[in-house]
Structure 1
Amino acid sequence: MTNKNLFIFLLLVFQQSFGQVKNYNFININSKSGLSSNTVNTILKDKYGFMWFGTDDGLNKFDGQNFVVYRHSETDSSTIGRGVVMAMQEDKEGNLWIGTNITLSLYNRSLNNFINYDFSKLGWIRSLQADHLGNIWVGTYAGLYYFNPKTEKIVTYKANPLRKDQLNSNVILSVFEDSKNRVWVGTNAGLHLLNPKNGNFIRFVHSKENPLTISNDIVRSLVEDKFGNIWIGTGEGLNKIDLANKTFKYFKGIDSDFQTLSNNSIYKIAFDKEGKLWVGTEDGLNILNPNTGKTFRVDKLTSKKYSGVGSFVGRSVKDIYLDDSHTEFITVPS
Structure 2
Amino acid sequence: MNACTSLRTLVAPLLMVLALLGSPLQPAHAGSAPDVVRLTVVAGQDIQFTALTGEAGLPSGNVYGIAQDTQGFLWFATGDGLSRYDGYSLRTFRFDRDNANSLAHNTVVSILMGHNGVLWLGTTGGGVDRFDPVTETFTHHRHNPSSPTSLSSNSISRKGLLEDPQGVLWVGTNDSGLNRIDLLTGAVTYFRHDPKNANSLSSNNLESIYQDSERTLWIGTADAGLNRLDPVTGRITRYTSHPEDPHTLPNPRVHAVYEDRAGSGC
TM-score range, shorter chain: 0.7 to 0.9
The range that moved more, 269-278 or 230-239, is 230-239
**Which of 231, 241, 245 in structure 2 is aligned with 1:300?**
241
Letter in 1 for 2:254: V
For structure 1, the residue ranges without an aligned partner over 5 or more in a row are 1-45, 51-62, 68-108, 330-334
Structure 2 partner of 1:234: 173
> Is the aligned partner of 1:116 residue 2:51?
yes
Task: Report if the CA contact (8 A) 1:160-1:169 is conserved.
Answer: no
> In the superposition, relative to structure 1, how do residues 178 and 49 fare at CA in structure 2: closer, same or farther (>3 Å)?
farther
**Which of 126, 143, 146 in structure 1 is aligned with 2:64?**
126
Structure 2 partner of 1:147: 85
> Is the aligned partner of 1:156 residue 2:92?
yes
Distance 1:64 1:297 in 2: 31
**Which of 106, 112, 134 in structure 2 is aligned with 1:197?**
134
Letter in 1 for 2:183: L
Distance 2:69 2:258 in 1: 19
Task: Report if the CA contact (8 A) 1:280-1:316 is conserved.
Answer: yes
For structure 2, the residue ranges without an aligned partner over 5 or more in a row are 1-17, 25-34
Higher relative contact order (CA 8 A, sep 6+): 1
Letter in 2 for 1:114: F
Distance 2:221 2:169 in 1: 18
- Percent of paired sites with the same residue: 26
Task: Report if the CA contact (8 A) 1:161-1:167 is conserved.
Answer: no
Distance 2:53 2:239 in 1: 41
1:220-274, Cα deviation, whole Å (9 max, x unpaired): 2111223132111112111111233433211111112111110011111010011
Distance 2:209 2:23 in 1: 22
> In the superposition, relative to structure 1, how do residues 256 and 169 fare at CA in structure 2: closer, same or farther (>3 Å)?
same
Residue 278 of structure 1 and its aligned partner are, at CA, apart by 0.5
Distance 2:261 2:183 in 1: 29
Structure 2 partner of 1:255: 195
Higher fraction of strand: 1
How many residue pairs were aligned? 224
Task: Report if the CA contact (8 A) 2:59-2:81 is conserved.
Answer: yes
Q: What is the TM-score normalised by the length of structure 2?
A: 0.75
1:113-160, Cα deviation, whole Å (9 max, x unpaired): 4232224751021211122333211011111101123xx222210112
1:256-306, Cα deviation, whole Å (9 max, x unpaired): 2111110011111010011110101122111111111111101235xx6xx
Letter in 2 for 1:278: W
SS at match of 1:320: coil
Which contiguous aligned blocks of 4+ residues in structure 1 show a shift greater than 6 angstroms? Answer: none
Letter in 1 for 2:109: L
1:27-66 equivalence runs, <5 A:
48=22
Task: Report if the CA contact (8 A) 2:193-2:203 is conserved.
Answer: yes
Q: Give the greater-gyration-radius structure (CA).
A: 2
Q: What is the TM-score normalised by the length of structure 1?
A: 0.61
CA RMSD of aligned residues (A): 2.8
> Is the aligned partner of 1:286 residue 2:224?
no
Residue 181 of structure 1 and its aligned partner are, at CA, apart by 1.5
Residue 49 of structure 1 and its aligned partner are, at CA, apart by 8.0
Distance 1:198 1:64 in 2: 51
Task: Report if the CA contact (8 A) 2:127-2:140 is conserved.
Answer: yes
> Is the aligned partner of 1:207 residue 2:148?
no
Higher fraction of helix: 2
> In the superposition, relative to structure 1, how do residues 314 and 66 fare at CA in structure 2: closer, same or farther (>3 Å)?
farther
